[in-house]
Amino acid sequence: MDRCRLIVGLVLIVASAGFSQDAPANPEALALDAKLIAEAKDHSEIMKNLQYLSDIVGPRLTGSANLRQANDWTASVMKSYGLSNVRLEPWEIPLGWERGTASMKLVDPDNGRSLTVAAAGWTPGTKGKITGPVVILNAKTREDFAKYKGKLKDAIVLRGEPAKVAPITDLTYGPPADPKAKQPEKKTDDKEKKADDKEQPKEPKPVEKKQSIQELQAFRRELSDFLRAEGAAVLLTDSAKPHNLLVTTGTWRGTDRANASEPLPALFVAHEHFALLHRLATRPAPAVTKVEVEITNKFIPGPVTVYNTVGEIPGEKADEFVTIGAHLDSWDLAQGTTDNGTGSCVVLETARVIAKSGVKPKRTIRFVLFTGEEQGLFGSKAYVKRHADEMPKTSVALVHDTGTGKVLGFGLQGREAIKPIMDRELISLKSLGFTGVTLRGSGGTDHLSFEDVGVPGFACNQDMDEYRLTHHTPSDTFDKAKEPNLIQGAQVLAVSLVRVANLPDLLPRQKPGNPKKESGPAPRETTTEKK
């Protein structure tokens, strides 16, 4: 697109949108916006890089050789784009892990059906084939454990009720669900309602206190210890996805605890098969349900050194920063394309576009590909710790980690003072489908490590596209990537970074209002929206 027509177009949008709060539109900044937007559109290298990362490097589990290959390759790409000070920054994980094979088949009723399963990350194998009774465990608190004492020897434990799986149509496209949005009223016809009201006086339903992530993780560990002590053999969790889609997640968290008992072998089961086992196991006695399981995972003794890939475009104020990041590690049931090859390649492309523009930003622009995100944001925490002295002078950290969907906005984690500044500065993005920044907070990815130390850390609010069906599943493959959306992502992030880098001051920092979400992999029962 002819650049001056783009600039004129942007000026017109500025004028028409009456956007600019009282600051006059800055034609130079608009011209630079236009230059960045055009470069990302006309010479994109996103798909070339994403195909290499997906098809040649493949799944990138933290601690694996594939991930190290990805670190080296992304560093070489950053250098080829002209970035300075490109390096691999080491940090350590307590224990490595390698996925082996996992199988499960019904032996009673003996119809030899094999069931669709995948091991949870950082869980052990079964030391050969084992057979055991399927036992349903409905324990939400440690008090519930008592009910199962002495009943779990060699049991294959089915954890909880089958999930309520939304139809695929509800799981795709559109902005991320706003947890605060009012749920549509369940339509009950008046008659029924009146009858209800009349009949039984409403007992205030006990409000179930939402457990924090820490509490849920502690409960998970206690449950694992309890099951171990009771001699249970394997823990089965519902993948809670439609159409036989498996998921996986997991962490080494807690494995380095003093006298930590080795976690129990654990499998994610395709929803249809989890529901089948649940139906069979609820048949009245003397009906018994038995399965045969074999898992062959391997732990790699630690500590294991892993790396974040880092590079930068130095600024006039070299010791002040704006940062963009995405996690390079992935789970390993497929290629890790949308989680998070897309974010990693959008970060590389944003670097290419800004470097190509020749801009000399006022502040240093830092590009970081974190690792260890899937196990609990460990790589970004290590980065923030290693660069603790730079955090007071880091204006913002932007993170792309919701797949191949368009970037619709940024969630400002309740930071009201920043909204008018971003509204003014990001005017050029309206024409790209960027709907604007919101005060909303989001969880589940690396921006939280910055928020935790007071640095404004914002995740991209992206169109969900098919993310709920691809992330952590066997469906996370290169064919799911959508180039126009990823180009738009690089356009949005290039403009946003340069605009914030060139502001007269660092972005204001009032104490983050809520909502502030905790970090780390969300335990199963909360959400699979872990990024």
Q: How far is the CB of 257 from Zn ion (least distance, A)?
A: 25
Q: How far is the CB of 398 from Zn ion (least distance, A)?
A: 15
Q: How far is the CB of 402 from Zn ion (least distance, A)?
A: 8
Among all residues, whose Cβ is closest to Zn ion?
A: 531
Among 249, 289, 309, 340, binds Zn ion (CB under 5 A): 340
Stretch of 90-98, 106-114, 336-344, 423-431 contacting Zn ion, by CB under 5 A = 336-344
Stretch of 99-107, 338-346, 376-384, 431-439 contacting Zn ion, by CB under 5 A = 338-346
Burial class (CB in 10 A: 0-12, 13-18, 19+), 531: buried
User: Coil, strand, or helix at residue 55?
Assistant: helix
Nearer to Zn ion, 123 or 375 (CB): 375
Going from the C-alpha of 455 to that of each of 52, 370, 408, 437, the distances in angstroms are 33, 17, 22, 17
User: Coil, strand, or helix at residue 313?
Assistant: strand
User: Coil, strand, or helix at residue 250?
Assistant: strand
Least Cα distance to 459 among 332, 346, 314, 308 occurs for 346
Nearer to Zn ion, 37 or 247 (CB): 247
Two tokens, residue 444 = 């589940």
Q: How far is the CB of 388 from Zn ion (least distance, A)?
A: 24
Contact 347, 373 (CB under 8 A): no
Two tokens, residue 357 = 């523009």
Nearer to Zn ion, 263 or 379 (CB): 379
Nearer to Zn ion, 220 or 471 (CB): 471
Q: How far is the CB of 424 from Zn ion (least distance, A)?
A: 31
Q: How far is the CB of 248 from Zn ion (least distance, A)?
A: 13
Two tokens, residue 168 = 């695929």
Nearer to Zn ion, 341 or 512 (CB): 341
Q: How far is the CB of 461 from Zn ion (least distance, A)?
A: 15
Q: How far is the CB of 48 from Zn ion (least distance, A)?
A: 22
Going from the C-alpha of 323 to that of each of 228, 333, 364, the distances in angstroms are 44, 30, 8
Nearer to Zn ion, 71 or 340 (CB): 340
- Alpha-carbon gap, residue 390 to 46, rounded angstroms: 30
Q: How far is the CB of 401 from Zn ion (least distance, A)?
A: 4
String of contacts with Zn ion for each residue 433-472, x by CB under 5 A: ----------------------------------------
Binding status of residue 480 toward Zn ion by CB under 5 A: no
String of contacts with Zn ion for each residue 283-322, x by CB under 5 A: ----------------------------------------
Count of chain residues binding Zn ion (CB under 5 A)? 4
Nearer to Zn ion, 273 or 471 (CB): 471
Nearer to Zn ion, 349 or 401 (CB): 401
User: Coil, strand, or helix at residue 419?
Assistant: helix
Sign of CA dihedral 73, 76, 81, 84: positive
Going from the C-alpha of 65 to that of each of 91, 329, 333, 478, the distances in angstroms are 15, 11, 16, 20
| H or E segment and range at residue 69 | helix 65-80
- Alpha-carbon gap, residue 290 to 3, rounded angstroms: 68
Q: How far is the CB of 459 from Zn ion (least distance, A)?
A: 10
Tokens 């799911």 — which residue? Answer: 480
Least Cα distance to 314 among 500, 506, 504, 84 occurs for 84
The Cα angle at residue 114 between residues 108 and 115, in degrees rounded to 5: 100
- Alpha-carbon gap, residue 503 to 395, rounded angstroms: 10
Nearer to Zn ion, 340 or 473 (CB): 340
- Alpha-carbon gap, residue 325 to 310, rounded angstroms: 9
Least Cα distance to 306 among 68, 15, 9 occurs for 68
String of contacts with Zn ion for each residue 385-424, x by CB under 5 A: ----------------x-----------------------
Binding status of residue 339 toward Zn ion by CB under 5 A: yes
Stretch of 96-104, 192-200, 337-345, 456-464 contacting Zn ion, by CB under 5 A = 337-345
Binding status of residue 531 toward Zn ion by CB under 5 A: yes
Residues making contact with Zn ion (CB under 5 A): 339-340, 401, 531
